[in-house]
Structure 1
Amino acid sequence: MSMALGRYRWRHDQVLRELADIIEKERKKRGQKRDSKYIKFVKEGDPTKVKKPSEQKSILDSATLWEMQVDLVRRLVRPDVVNNNLRPDIVLWSHEGKEIIMVELTVPWEERCEVAYQRKKIKYQDLADDICSKGWSAWVFPVEIGCGGFPAQSTWRAMTVLGIKGKERKAGIQRLSTTAEKSSFWLWWGRALQS
């Protein structure tokens, strides 16, 4: 049984690496955008209106200095505001904005995605409430990628809220799905070899 749990943890960590990489790229990109100024020039007499970029497209736009830690190989370092034994898979925080984002990944059977979502949402709600009572803003994003590669709606929502949209979101979801599917294949293949 413990060997099976180790395999499931291995699959979870494979998908988590991909998810962390996608979020890290967005975090870095958001930090770079803050530093650049945007000027759009229009020809004289051109009747088109200049669209101003929207003020906030992502939770990450609310602060400039975000730190991120991922719970791979049990090395998660959390901000001091979290005094709890719970360890979300990915934690982003900004001391400047007093904000924290927690992402909790699950790789269940496809028909169990909604159950996994509800279970993780409830599990981390007390932690989020505790953080909010200390004057911080807290968000919890349970994310599910089915072991057969099916991305649950929670995955699409989390990426959108984090500012990952359009082609980048679609490509990111495809990466997560492919990783889950390939990892599951290797688990089944390894199991067949042991029989």
Structure 2
Amino acid sequence: MAPLRISFLIRSVYDLLPSNANLVRWGNKDDPTCPLCHGRQTTEHVLSSCKVALSQGRYTWRHNRVLQELASVITNAKGKFNPPSPSFIIFTTEGGDRKWCGRSNTASIQRKGLLDGCDDWEVSADLPEWDKHLEVIRRTTLRPDIVIHSPST
């Protein structure tokens, strides 16, 4: 993770981001109010509690941008399909003077993930610009952010 992201994460957990409330506490500002709703602007308020930001769709916009980036990374990974390589066992005679390779049982092939070894997986994201959702999801009341599905697994 990039150093700035780690710094943001740590400072947000300990409420050390430069919100107006913190800037007042540190003596750098006189007014702790939110410019949108005029409530006290804390880190929590900025990230998820401002009613005006909520009504303007700012939280939805931020959520969709993060979701869009995740969907893009997952979709790009789909093009990097690598079937699992078979394992080989080296057999040796009892005296050790003769060696040969043999293919191991296909059941023992080590997979790195659930979708490793399949190339038919599909990605669906709950974004306005994505109109392709799996039928199994459309028939429910559930709204998962991202669905990764492979008919073969």
TM-score range, shorter chain: 0.3 to 0.5
Q: Which has the larger radius of gyration?
A: 2
Superposition TM-score, scaled by structure 2 size: 0.43
Structure number with the higher helix fraction is 1
Higher RCO (CA 8 Å, separation ≥ 6 residues): 1
Superposition TM-score, scaled by structure 1 size: 0.35
